[in-house]
Amino acid sequence: MTAPRLVATDLDGTLVRTDGSVSEYTRRVLAAAEQAGIVVVMVTARPMRWMHDLRPMIGEHGLAIVSNGAIRYDVAGDRPLSVTGLDVEPGLAMVERIRAAVPTAQLAVETVSGIALEPQYDEPDHVPPGSPVGPLAEVWTEPAVKVLVREPHLASEELRERVADAVGDTATPTWTVPHLVEIGPPGVDKALALAGLAADFGVPPESVWAFGDMPNDLAMLEWAGVGHAVANAHPSVREVADHVVPSNDEDGVARTLAAALDL
């Protein structure tokens, strides 16, 4: 198989191990791929504020795609290069439809500035101290790259269905973990963002390898010339992938690249 010119990899559950670490082996392989002239791009649902620890793995190009494609991020410079956001007024109207569908939902919004959340939004491990807290109509003050909908007591599949029905075609709902739906701006996903970045590097889709594990990676894997699912991926991802590679805890992304590069 011909080696790729660009590699796009999801992070959590794909490149990052279950314990949150990235092995030294994976770091060495990614560095070797960059040295071989391959552009390696992280394409993740993470917000910008969760990317700092991964800065050493970004190549000289310094770019990542974050917030499910809503932001192209200059990691080294810690600044967004392009942002596609959901405006406040239509966003609040969408939120009211979600509340009608899921009255017990807990809501928050991710913006370029950080996260703003309702008082009942209960995810203390991922909310920085000092984040704005209050009714969304008061704390949502700039375009959102994601609206977060949590409901820990409702079956995940039912939550997804209710939220998707409420959102319709006004935004892009997706999910990566149980009991949480992430809603992005309309028409925004990882595939669209990756297509734009690849075009800027002059790389056609057939020269792109993509790696992922969850449904928010589906469009990216289908767009890329070769789509890889890690062995621990959601069944829907393994079904559409061209190849299934070892799991995230087995350094599946790195092992696949090492084999292609004869490392």
Q: Where are the domains of the chain?
A: 6-83+188-261, 88-184
Long-range contact pairs involving 165-174 (C-beta distance under 8 Å, separation at least 24)? 165/101, 166/94, 166/97, 166/98, 166/100, 166/101, 166/102, 167/94, 167/97, 167/98, 170/90, 170/94, 171/86, 171/91, 171/94, 171/147, 172/68, 174/45, 174/68, 174/215, 174/216
Fold of 6-83+188-261: Rossmann fold (3.40.50)
Beta-bridge partner residues of 16: 12
The mean pLDDT value of the chain amounts to 92
Q: What angle do CA 83, 61, 8 make, to 5 degrees?
A: 70
Q: Point out the least confidently predicted range of 35-49, 117-131, 158-172, 249-263.
A: 117-131
Residue 248 has pLDDT above 70, yes or no: yes
Residue 1 has pLDDT above 70, yes or no: no
Q: Please tell me if the domain spanning 6-83+188-261 has the same topology as the one spanning 88-184.
A: no
What would the CATH number be for the domain defined by 88-184? 3.30.1240.10
pLDDT on residue 136: 95
